């Protein structure tokens, strides 16, 4: 994860250790996380020894790509304290998972897994090794007690595959499941799924281990605040992800912890009309040694809207330029700080914290402690249990209330800024399917992004964090704007042999990777290589407004690099037409290409389009291949496993 960094400057500066700077008399007192002093009992640094040395009996492993699984793991580890147990959070990538069997050496011990599923049923990057280990055999886990909460999205075919796999594999290896695997669905309300599962889980733990809730439900502060005065600028983080000063002195290789500051060299509107906006952005990677392939993703670290940051500072009456360090009171924790420190509140709110997403229930619970008005306190608390899920869904999720909106609407809330910084999750990088080919553009990476813009039921106007930030970076105002980026390799690849036919299905911004594919096939054709049939399905609302890259596509059609173009303009006529309708009409063509070894690619909307395209594909196989439903499903599975049917959907 991106949270590791060295706090090198801390020792030399004045330290102010307290939980409430500006503590007011009527402010609540939060319990400090008590940690047993470290008693050296072994030389090994393994997680079992760490647990023994710090008297912990609960370990919560997370497989996290966007931070949610890690956040849930942290909440469960904190929960343990409320039941007289002691928990710790651990990253499987940093642990020797073979040691799991030794958990039996710790009395009343329990292992919990919070595991997200990524992409096409894959483990997250940090859980890959653990997954390989389990697949390769694992070890005897007799006597181990475990629970799994899985995080996934129902719109994807392999819903929660990773969590389900680990849950059943642990049982096969002899471990004892305490509760049925929790299935979190990010497509509806994963917070609600987690809260409901957790409410069932802890009573089972209590019964199993004969422990009881301590009754102390007060929040636990994880980080202590230190205000740093007169720190020189070069000792303060200004948005760097890991290495201090990395934005001033850039050094390859570039990755998630060390992003490259790519200058924006083009930023133009692709829509020709209407009130929506789609940007074509070119990022210069000259001299960066960054390599990419058509089909890869580029990740962008965005900044929050300075206006929202300023308003939070005003509302909480805090000097945003105060330079702080937040340090984990648990000295044994692998995560020492919630984000790179020392830094100012302004930088934390701008670069490191997610201030725009609707907060989860544990944040509401902690905020409630700061409500001076008992009605507001009760209101917030009422949304934090599974009984209050409808209220939470309505007031927080459906109204899209972010932290600022909550503070604006509940006037008696007076949380200190350092606790806000502790509570909020990390701002995540946004991924984009690269819309260029390195064959044509070796020194630039192109992005095709729709500007997110909507009005909530409360009348608040909201813009997407990253897309608004990118939209505000024109190349025409004489300034050079840079964007912190890194490239993430994907499995979405053109066939090895250019002569293999391809069908690409990409409505809207789903066209992005196919623009790269088309550039590549066009280049190979011009080089004299035999390029197979290349068929594109594209869809948009109106031909005159949002047919993006129309001229380029027509050019490829003209010179034969694009063999066929099927377009669905959904709103140019009375009946709505989508790409899946066109696929339905062309079942014969699809079957012919599949039987000739063709590859099918789908990119764009995961919720409706990808699913309906999948159904349509299945129907083509049933009808044209004369197969029954089971055989057709097997046929499609085989295509997937051979890399001949790939999806890049979000």
Judged by DSSP in three states, 102 sits in: helix
Residue 433 bears catalytic tag: yes
Tell me which residue has its CB nearest to ligand FAD.
464
Beta bridge partners of 118: 122
* Min separation Cβ 300 and ligand FAD, Å: 8
* Min separation Cβ 611 and ligand FAD, Å: 17
Please state the φ and ψ torsions of residue 640, each to the nearest 5 degrees. Answer: -65, -45
Q: Which one, 189 or 443, has the nearer CB to ligand FAD?
A: 189
* Min separation Cβ 6 and ligand FAD, Å: 29
* Min separation Cβ 242 and ligand FAD, Å: 21
* Min separation Cβ 156 and ligand FAD, Å: 11
The Cα–Cα gap between 488 and 174 comes to: 37
Contact in structure between 304 and 349 (CB atoms under 8 Å)? yes
**Of 417, 411, 316, nearest in space to 372 by CA:** 411
Residue 490 bears catalytic tag: no
Options 167, 193, 305, 648, the catalytic residue: 648
Q: Which one, 320 or 466, has the nearer CB to ligand FAD?
A: 466
Contact in structure between 86 and 205 (CB atoms under 8 Å)? no
* Min separation Cβ 299 and ligand FAD, Å: 9
The Cα–Cα gap between 391 and 380 comes to: 10
Q: How far is CA 443 from the centre of its chain?
A: 27
The Cα–Cα gap between 35 and 37 comes to: 6
* Min separation Cβ 273 and ligand FAD, Å: 19
**Of 130, 126, 151, nearest in space to 334 by CA:** 126
Q: Pull the structure tokens for residue 19.
A: 């939980």
b/e 495-531 (16+ beta carbons within 10 angstroms → b): eeebebbbbbbbbbbbbbbbbbbbbbbbbbbeeeeeb
The Cα–Cα gap between 522 and 377 comes to: 62
Q: Which one, 325 or 428, has the nearer CB to ligand FAD?
A: 428
Q: Which residue has the tokens 């599962």?
A: 197
Q: Which one, 161 or 179, has the nearer CB to ligand FAD?
A: 161
* Min separation Cβ 294 and ligand FAD, Å: 13
Q: Which one, 183 or 471, has the nearer CB to ligand FAD?
A: 471
* Min separation Cβ 431 and ligand FAD, Å: 4
Residue 395 bears catalytic tag: no
Q: Which one, 302 or 425, has the nearer CB to ligand FAD?
A: 302
Q: Which one, 105 or 472, has the nearer CB to ligand FAD?
A: 472
Q: What secondary structure, in 3-state letters, does 354-390 show?
A: CCCCCCCHHHHHHHHCCECCHHHHHHHHHCCCHHHHH
Contact in structure between 545 and 273 (CB atoms under 8 Å)? yes
Binding-site ranges for ligand FAD (CB under 6 A):
297, 302, 356, 400, 430-433, 448-450, 452, 454, 464-467, 509, 512, 650
The Cα–Cα gap between 565 and 281 comes to: 24
Query: Please, is 584 exposed, middle or buried when counting C-beta atoms within 10 Å of its C-beta (0-12, 13-18, 19+)?
Result: middle
The Cα–Cα gap between 131 and 139 comes to: 13
b/e 380-399 (16+ beta carbons within 10 angstroms → b): bbebbebebbeebbebbeeb
How many beta carbons lie within 10 A of that of residue 575, not counting itself?
Answer: 7
* Min separation Cβ 301 and ligand FAD, Å: 11
Options 603, 605, 620, 647, the catalytic residue: 603
Query: Please, is 233 exposed, middle or buried when counting C-beta atoms within 10 Å of its C-beta (0-12, 13-18, 19+)?
Result: exposed
Residue 193 bears catalytic tag: no
- The CA distances from residue 522 to 270, 438, 563, 598, in Å, are 22, 13, 11, 18
The Cα–Cα gap between 427 and 239 comes to: 11
Options 344, 433, 435, 620, the catalytic residue: 433
Q: Pull the structure tokens for residue 513.
A: 């990777």
Q: Which one, 122 or 533, has the nearer CB to ligand FAD?
A: 122
Q: Which one, 512 or 632, has the nearer CB to ligand FAD?
A: 512
**Of 50, 66, 56, nearest in space to 112 by CA:** 56
Give me the active site residues, please.
433, 603, 648, 650
């Amino acid at each position: 994860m991106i949270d590791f960094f060295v706090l090198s400057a801390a020792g030399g500066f004045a330290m102010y250790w307290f939980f409430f700077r500006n503590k007011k008399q009527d402010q609540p007192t939060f319990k400090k996380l008590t940690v047993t002093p470290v008693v050296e009992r072994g030389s090994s640094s393994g997680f079992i020894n760490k647990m023994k040395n710090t008297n912990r009996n609960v370990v919560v492993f997370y497989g996290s790509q966007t931070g949610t699984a890690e956040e849930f793991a942290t909440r469960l580890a904190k929960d343990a304290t409320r039941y007289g147990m002691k928990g710790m959070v651990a990253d499987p990538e940093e642990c020797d998972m073979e040691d799991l069997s030794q958990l039996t050496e710790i009395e009343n011990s329990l292992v919990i897994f919070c595991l997200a599923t990524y992409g096409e049923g894959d483990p997250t990057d940090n859980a890959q090794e653990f997954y390989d280990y389990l697949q390769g055999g694992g070890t005897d886990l007799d006597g181990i007690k475990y629970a799994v909460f899985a995080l996934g999205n129902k719109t994807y075919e392999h819903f929660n595959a990773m969590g389900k796999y680990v849950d059943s594999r642990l049982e096969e290896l002899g471990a004892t499941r305490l509760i049925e695997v929790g299935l979190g669905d990010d497509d509806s309300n994963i917070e609600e799924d987690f809260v409901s599962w957790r409410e069932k889980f802890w009573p089972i733990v209590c019964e199993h281990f004969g422990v009881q809730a301590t009754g102390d439900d007060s929040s636990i502060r994880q980080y202590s605040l230190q205000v740093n005065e007169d720190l020189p600028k070069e000792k303060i983080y200004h948005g760097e992800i890991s290495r201090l000063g990395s934005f001033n002195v850039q050094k390859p290789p570039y990755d998630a912890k060390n992003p490259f500051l790519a200058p924006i060299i083009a930023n133009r509107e692709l829509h020709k009309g209407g009130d929506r906006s789609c940007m074509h952005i070119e990022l210069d990677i000259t001299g960066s040694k960054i390599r990419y392939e058509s089909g890869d993703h580029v990740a962008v670290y965005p900044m929050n809207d300075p206006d929202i940051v300023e308003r939070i500072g005003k509302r909480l009456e805090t000097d945003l330029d105060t330079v702080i360090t937040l340090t984990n009171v648990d000295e044994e924790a692998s995560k020492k700080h919630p984000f790179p420190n020392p830094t100012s509140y302004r930088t934390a709110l701008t670069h490191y914290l997610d201030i725009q997403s609707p907060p989860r229930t544990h944040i509401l619970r902690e905020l409630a402690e700061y409500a001076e008005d008992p009605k507001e306190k009760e209101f917030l608390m009422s949304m934090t249990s599974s009984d209050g899920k409808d209220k939470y869904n309505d007031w927080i999720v459906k109204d899209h209330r972010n932290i600022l909106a909550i503070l604006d609407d509940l006037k008696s809330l007076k949380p200190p800024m350092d606790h806000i910084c502790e509570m909020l999750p990390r701002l995540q990088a946004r991924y984009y399917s690269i819309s260029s080919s390195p064959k044509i553009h070796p020194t630039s990476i192109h992005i095709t992004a729709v500007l997110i813009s909507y009005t909530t039921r409360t009348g608040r106007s909201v813009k997407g964090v990253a897309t608004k930030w990118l939209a505000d970076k024109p190349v025409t105002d004489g300034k050079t704007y840079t964007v912190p980026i890194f490239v993430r390799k994907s499995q979405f690849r053109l066939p090895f042999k250019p002569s293999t036919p391809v069908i690409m299905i990409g409505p809207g911004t789903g066209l992005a990777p196919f623009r790269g594919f088309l550039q590549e096939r066009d280049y190979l054709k011009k080089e004299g290589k035999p390029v197979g049939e290349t068929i594109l399905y594209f869809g948009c609302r109106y031909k005159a407004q949002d047919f993006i890259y129309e001229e380029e596509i027509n050019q490829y059609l003209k010179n034969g690099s694009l063999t066929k173009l099927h377009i669905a303009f959904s709103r140019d006529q009375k009946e709505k037409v989508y790409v899946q309708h066109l696929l339905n009409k062309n079942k014969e063509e699809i079957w012919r290409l599949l039987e000739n070894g063709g590859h099918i690619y789908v990119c764009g909307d995961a919720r409706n389009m990808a699913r309906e395209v999948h159904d349509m594909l299945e129907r083509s196989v049933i009808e044209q291949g004369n197969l029954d439903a089971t055989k057709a499903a097997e046929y499609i599975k085989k295509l997937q496993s051979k890399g001949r049917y790939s999806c890049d959907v979000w």
